[in-house]
Amino acid sequence: MPLTPTAIYTDLKNNELDRSSAIEILISLIENAESINTRTESIKILEKISVKDKKVFSVLENLFISDSNEKVRCLSSQVLKNLF
């Protein structure tokens, strides 16, 4: 199965992947994927599963402040507002 945000969410919902592993993979995709769609979908999945911890806050904050893509900055600010 390809490593996509949707596949990670599906595996999490089906209890094939634990929550902390899903979070780590999503963060890795956000930080390393070249595709803007993959990055934004990963951020949306983090919001969907209501991840409210310091590491996710820090990642979203850094994206909001310094990411080069406007969509990623805007989405990260929305998710920060909604979750924290």
pTM of the model: 0.93
Task: Provide the pLDDT for residue 3.
Answer: 87
Average pLDDT on 9-22 reads 95
Task: Provide the pLDDT for residue 31.
Answer: 96
Rounded CA-CA distance 61/76 in Å is 7
Rounded CA-CA distance 79/84 in Å is 8
Average pLDDT on 1-6 reads 82
Task: Provide the pLDDT for residue 2.
Answer: 67
pLDDT digits (tens, 9 = 90+) for 27-82: 999 999 999 999 999 999 999 999 899 999 999 999 999 999 999 999 999 999 99
Residue 1: pLDDT band with limits 50, 70, 90: low
